[in-house]
Structure 1
């Protein structure tokens, strides 16, 4: 840096002068000193004395500034790469606000790193408009009234939480939801803009189909005019098949013998099988479910049949034991069944004259006994449906046990399934999906459920089972109807109660339709999304971050005290064998191209209508799924769309996948400094990587096969730390909004908590690549952020999990989500990572720096 130019009124002199110049100067000075001596001999006035003192003081002050400037200039001209600064202990007075509960003022006497300069403030600070905006977004998220060593989640996120209230139509809102809305806004712009003229033939046709579905979804007047008709047609098919029809024509199915069948008609086993096959092909879950995945015990690449317990009408089995929720759910089913009964009567009255009596009188009644009206019948059947589904819920396995890869792997001959559940003709069922691939064995995730379901079906009345199937159909498909449809409103009201949503609040229709299109035709929309939002160096730079995290993880393995040499070597081999997928599938070689091109040729949304289009797409998805049976795994295939804000690790496929949708701010940007990218996207990469070594992932070897590949000593040491982590998180609680505390299920969330601790590997990766990154100009500072780079790394991580959540939604997540609540994903993780406490200089004993013996350190 050059020295500042001298003011125009100040003369400058050479630093070194010759002897001739000295003599000339002395001759000139003699006259001056003689005059000064003459003045000195005169008496000094008071004013003269004051002015002389001021002059002397100013001369002294000037000399001090000159010295300081010269020293600073020397440091700047000779400084090395910036090193982490020291931090200053202090005592902080904080005001902690607990939302909806109380306000408390507490004094924490602890060692806290207040915002401190990273290095020379003028050395590496980026002052571009983008940097200023980025800095402002970080500063607006932070709330320094909280002690970072006591509550880092609120320290980093409380500002964001205050400025991002939960939309009235949602149960929660956080960074993930916010970015998903942004992605869907990009898709909405694509759908609403004129089609580009330079698209090739296939892309042009794909875009036409996607836009057609979007337009059908937006046509609310048309949907409201159509009303319940599409759903009633589907229900007629289900009832017809259940009662023995061989047709899926909605009218023939219920009138094949010229009479109107009632719900009380006896159903044959073939009828139940056919009805289930039809519902499952439309994505409606009931009684049980099948999946096609690798045989992890024999050959993970050989796709085989898995038998699962079913989806439930309520979010989890616990809800069926709560009287308040049970009452709401039963009332909703009653309204739905009543509406179907009345609509069916209205339709039949128009088709037949005189109308056939419907519903039929109960069996065994006297000739003069009045038929049971729709109100009484709906109430009776709603109670039966609830009890039937409650029995299924009680027979289902708890989620924390269901996620155990060893306990849920139970291969048996296919005959075990047919003999254990004789009410279902599985040979006929499979013929509907895979007529050329009848398996000889099936993997049952929970064998006890087969016997329990058989007993439940034996005890149930045929009429009750049929009503259950109808209720499942309505609950699944009602959201596809117009919003003015009564049955749509009933289902929405149920969702409002379960999620704690504001009554009657709805999202913008275009927002909803963009979400539907991105989910139903996700490969096509993802293709266009990537073109708009994930170009340039994004994929390359994101891949480098992920690769560096993997290398840092492998380097750390020999230093883990609980892992012996043989196990660490095997773990490094597994990490090296993981297939890393970034951004989007390679379209020409994947099954996604089948969906984009071949399927769209056969489907015309504008002709089939919105309801039929979505069901047709679900049917094609089911066909594609069942086509995998008996084949080799397609390793080019993705389980998420490119616009999805998420990532995953697939154990049998030995892959970690990062869609373009998640590689966006606040986690990643191609132009961000390294410490922010590693604190955000790097943490996500480390999380997915460590899933390969969590409580479930560690059971799979480097080929995705289920086997014990660690030594006994290493496994025993791991189990001890895992139990420590499970206990740690089980002590965390949330408020249910009713004054009660609900504990986190530490066993259910164990795998995710272990993966979250992988953050330390992203930190190590950043450190290992810091020098080269700094030389490339990728470790610049941001204006106004008075933090060290280390602190900003952790702040970037903390901001990942910002989320506001309604109490009802929080309780639902506790029961169903294997992830811990976001505040514990931050504070729980950091309390087991010493590098965080070092960065913020937290004193031992503070909440996020507990004594070492109380820490559950796996990767640190």
Structure 2
């Protein structure tokens, strides 16, 4: 505060501005006895002459112009003073100010001289309320304001408060089951890749095709664009019909019937074989190996991962339960869904075998790749039908009578569902499979598996992938599943097993056909029902095709995506957010009442040992086109064979996976490609990974104020860090080994809080669209919910860095947002979970996804953070401000 001003009036003029002394009647210049007020009154009462009126107006204009110029001069003088001269402590400053006033008849000018003593300056820092008015800040503020619904009470419904405006502006597209920030950013990332892949693109990467471009870059772009173009050629895809899928299905059938050797199973080369190779055991093994080599699940799942009980980095074989035709067990108990699923299977069986039996002879037409089968045009229905054996598995032929095709397909589809339901009942529930790593780690000698499932030839199965790396022992995710599967196979007819394997291929691959094919339409109808998609609605083809390119060659596409989007200090600043959160977490461990000192020290050591990966991998090295070219060497791409291109990429992926068997883990390897809008924690590797795809708005920007970056991307980073200490992650030590490394006392205390969060989320439900409620599985979602509770670590990390961040100018205020920085932190968190979702998709998510619906990821998390209620001054009765004894407080 400045000292009082000492004002000295040095001059005052009262004489009139103009006086006519030449007129004979002019008044005397001598003083009179009239008062000043009387003289002014006389002047005012006199009628104004035209000249007086003109002078009046002129005086007013002069006053206005003077005020403007004085203001400009004062501003310029202030800038000059601030640049050229610094006030010294205790120095006396004299300020002279001039004031001009004017009336109709006179002008008075006053000069004020001000003298004061300047105070001793305090340490320099950025202004507390430094509002940013750059275009970037205005755009960001506008985006935040438009997402809010300020009619909602943030203490009772923060999801609607933070996202209500966004939800109204983003209706769900008819071809999707949901839309949200994750989905929309994913589409934006795909559009960037599409610009790179388009042949007419003006992207900077066109230079890679120039004469002097790197050979490997040209090779990569040729493959990427070839795959994309083959997907975009819808006319050719529709013209080819179901032929590519039929070939796969026919191979499965021939393998199952023993018409080829087991060694040829993965290559798909069908050869006549005699003797023992016609046995059912070899046939089943060959057919399943063929499907698995193409990423198609059937009967069981085989995965390669570290042996977490012995050496987390030694890659071994895990035997587990397969995926099902329906997303979750519960659907097999719903008659309307199973009726639809049965209809889909019938349609697949009918169309595939109908088209296959009319495949030869064929005549080529002028359209490349278009084959119209002459037999199909003149002979219908095909004979013999069905192509599988009877229910008794009779392979001897004999007299066969014509059958009703539709009736037989109906019967077979029903048998497939019965088989799948048995497999589902023999499988572990998802909450055990995903949340209990101890229950799912059951190492046994290799011979135990072969004895438990004698219907399958495991040595032959392994020989198709890695004949030099037979495992000495394998890991069972369920000790009972191999025996149960053996029992199921023994009581199921050969024809049903064969039809099951064929439809598994069709369900997995039909989406790669033209959208006019019957197989595509059949599978699509099931997806529409399960996700609530409008029947017949088809989305943007380019978006779909870029997604296929990412899934097939994501690291190669990621090379160009990263160069396009991940520049400047994005990696540096994103990494700092993560490491700041790790530091905050370590500090908070000492304050946890439920964790003793021994466990706290061990947890800090695990946090220190955590590997942090940001942006893009170095294995394969996305900065090195040669590394990527070698990684995708085996992927064969042709511009006219989209279906076969996808198969080639799948075979390549499976070969890479199986090549790890019996080897040490590549610690630089990633499980996600750079453009993905996601992140993950890998317990055996003890690493958290953040692709460049999620380091973009609305999650992160290097130009954002810190409170928004820590609220949005910080929530993602804290979530993945907290996974290392959640219900499953806490069971892995700092080396990724599965063991008890907390004390019993700490583990017991943790389980009390875990039970609290299980019960909390089990009370939430979604609407099934028919007036019913589907409650969340608190056990299934507990790990993810505990991960979300890590938001408090992001808040603490931001607070700890706030003084320095403020001094650095990174805590600037956004215009038009009348919220505190603390409130903006939580608003930034809430916004990233904006999502509209259809009831069918919500039900599917509750049944199959360990993540809670987005609304509860916001409100369930915030109700357990007292700092949120304090930031918004929530009353004690507010929904999101329960008493501490009712909160599930982990950290």
Cα deviation digits, residues 662-711 of structure 1 (max 9, x gap): 01101100000000000001111000000000000000111111111111
Q: SS of the counterpart of 1:306?
A: strand
Deviation at 1:348, TM superposition (A): 5.5
User: What is the aligned counterpart of 2:335 among 319, 323, 332?
Assistant: 323
Deviation at 1:196, TM superposition (A): 2.6
Q: TM-score, normalised by structure 1?
A: 0.85
Residues 494, 267 of structure 1: alpha-carbon distance in 2 compared, 3 angstrom cutoff: farther
Q: Which residue of 1 aligns with 2:426?
A: 395
Q: Which residue of 1 aligns with 2:301?
A: 289
Between the aligned partners of 2:413 and 2:134, the Cα distance in structure 1 is 63
Q: SS of the counterpart of 2:359?
A: helix
Deviation at 1:299, TM superposition (A): 0.8
Residues 407, 35 of structure 1: alpha-carbon distance in 2 compared, 3 angstrom cutoff: farther
Q: How does 1:256-267 map to 2 (within 5 A)?
A: 256=272
Between the aligned partners of 2:40 and 2:665, the Cα distance in structure 1 is 107
Deviation at 1:596, TM superposition (A): 2.6
Q: How does 1:183-262 map to 2 (within 5 A)?
A: 183-192=189-198, 193=201, 195-198=205-208, 199-246=213-260, 256=272
- 1:727/1:746 contact within 8 Å kept: yes
Cα deviation digits, residues 786-812 of structure 1 (max 9, x gap): 000000000000001111100000000
User: What is the aligned counterpart of 1:746 among 771, 774, 778?
Assistant: 778
Residues 489, 426 of structure 1: alpha-carbon distance in 2 compared, 3 angstrom cutoff: same
- 2:347/2:522 contact within 8 Å kept: yes
- 2:767/2:774 contact within 8 Å kept: yes
Q: Say which one has the larger Rg.
A: 2
Between the aligned partners of 2:189 and 2:124, the Cα distance in structure 1 is 42
User: What is the aligned counterpart of 2:282 among 270, 279, 287?
Assistant: 270
Q: How does 1:148-167 map to 2 (within 5 A)?
A: 148-167=154-173
User: What is the aligned counterpart of 2:323 among 299, 311, 330?
Assistant: 311
Between the aligned partners of 1:33 and 1:809, the Cα distance in structure 2 is 98
Deviation at 1:376, TM superposition (A): 2.1
Deviation at 1:252, TM superposition (A): 10
- 1:752/1:820 contact within 8 Å kept: yes
Residues 144, 485 of structure 1: alpha-carbon distance in 2 compared, 3 angstrom cutoff: same
Between the aligned partners of 2:33 and 2:488, the Cα distance in structure 1 is 121
Unpaired runs of 5+ residues, structure 1, are 3-13, 47-61, 63-69, 83-118, 259-264
Between the aligned partners of 2:858 and 2:32, the Cα distance in structure 1 is 74
Cα deviation digits, residues 608-652 of structure 1 (max 9, x gap): 711111101111111110111111110100000000000000000
Q: How does 1:263-662 map to 2 (within 5 A)?
A: 268-347=280-359, 357-359=384-386, 370-403=401-434, 404-587=436-619, 596-598=628-630, 600-606=632-638, 609-662=641-694
- 1:241/1:253 contact within 8 Å kept: no
Cα deviation digits, residues 587-608 of structure 1 (max 9, x gap): 5669997873125445442267
* Worse-matched range after superposition: 496-505 or 579-588: 579-588
Q: Which residue of 1 aligns with 2:53?
A: none
Cα deviation digits, residues 472-507 of structure 1 (max 9, x gap): 010000011111111111111111011110011111
Between the aligned partners of 1:197 and 1:835, the Cα distance in structure 2 is 52
Does residue 1:691 correspond to 2:741, yes or no?
A: no
Residues 712, 369 of structure 1: alpha-carbon distance in 2 compared, 3 angstrom cutoff: closer
Between the aligned partners of 1:591 and 1:671, the Cα distance in structure 2 is 25
Deviation at 1:714, TM superposition (A): 1.0
Deviation at 1:401, TM superposition (A): 0.6
Residues 657, 367 of structure 1: alpha-carbon distance in 2 compared, 3 angstrom cutoff: closer
Residues 799, 428 of structure 1: alpha-carbon distance in 2 compared, 3 angstrom cutoff: same
Q: Which residue of 2 aligns with 1:102?
A: none
Cα deviation digits, residues 111-146 of structure 1 (max 9, x gap): xxxxxxxx97xx411111111111010000100111
Cα deviation digits, residues 369-404 of structure 1 (max 9, x gap): 732132222111111111111111111110001121
Q: SS of the counterpart of 1:277?
A: helix
Deviation at 1:39, TM superposition (A): 3.7
Between the aligned partners of 1:640 and 1:723, the Cα distance in structure 2 is 32
Q: Which residue of 2 aligns with 1:140?
A: 146
Unpaired runs of 5+ residues, structure 2, are 17-29, 46-100, 102-113, 363-372
Q: SS of the counterpart of 2:163?
A: helix
Between the aligned partners of 2:31 and 2:479, the Cα distance in structure 1 is 111
Between the aligned partners of 1:182 and 1:32, the Cα distance in structure 2 is 86
Q: Which residue of 2 aligns with 1:115?
A: none
Q: Which residue of 2 aligns with 1:105?
A: none
Cα deviation digits, residues 754-795 of structure 1 (max 9, x gap): 110100110011111111111111110111000000000000
Between the aligned partners of 2:323 and 2:692, the Cα distance in structure 1 is 30
* Worse-matched range after superposition: 599-608 or 698-707: 599-608
Between the aligned partners of 2:270 and 2:653, the Cα distance in structure 1 is 28
Q: TM-score, normalised by structure 2?
A: 0.82
Between the aligned partners of 1:33 and 1:567, the Cα distance in structure 2 is 101
- 1:663/1:669 contact within 8 Å kept: yes
Cα deviation digits, residues 542-601 of structure 1 (max 9, x gap): 011111111111111101111111111111111011000000012566999787312544
Q: Which residue of 2 aligns with 1:819?
A: 851
Deviation at 1:518, TM superposition (A): 1.3
Q: How many residue pairs align between the two structures?
A: 774
- 1:242/1:267 contact within 8 Å kept: no
Q: Which residue of 2 aligns with 1:129?
A: 135
Between the aligned partners of 1:389 and 1:644, the Cα distance in structure 2 is 32
Deviation at 1:434, TM superposition (A): 1.0
Residues 688, 600 of structure 1: alpha-carbon distance in 2 compared, 3 angstrom cutoff: closer
- 2:582/2:607 contact within 8 Å kept: yes
Deviation at 1:17, TM superposition (A): 3.9
Residues 721, 36 of structure 1: alpha-carbon distance in 2 compared, 3 angstrom cutoff: farther
- 1:299/1:705 contact within 8 Å kept: yes
- 1:342/1:374 contact within 8 Å kept: no
Deviation at 1:830, TM superposition (A): 0.5
Q: SS of the counterpart of 1:139?
A: helix
Between the aligned partners of 1:358 and 1:179, the Cα distance in structure 2 is 49
* Worse-matched range after superposition: 515-524 or 587-596: 587-596
- 1:587/1:593 contact within 8 Å kept: no
Cα deviation digits, residues 235-271 of structure 1 (max 9, x gap): 111001000022669999789499xxxxxx9961000
Residues 806, 356 of structure 1: alpha-carbon distance in 2 compared, 3 angstrom cutoff: closer
- 1:530/1:643 contact within 8 Å kept: yes
Deviation at 1:227, TM superposition (A): 1.0
Residues 80, 253 of structure 1: alpha-carbon distance in 2 compared, 3 angstrom cutoff: closer
Residues 202, 369 of structure 1: alpha-carbon distance in 2 compared, 3 angstrom cutoff: closer
* Worse-matched range after superposition: 607-616 or 592-601: 592-601
- 2:281/2:457 contact within 8 Å kept: yes
Q: Which residue of 1 aligns with 2:96?
A: none
Cα RMSD for the two superposed structures: 3.3
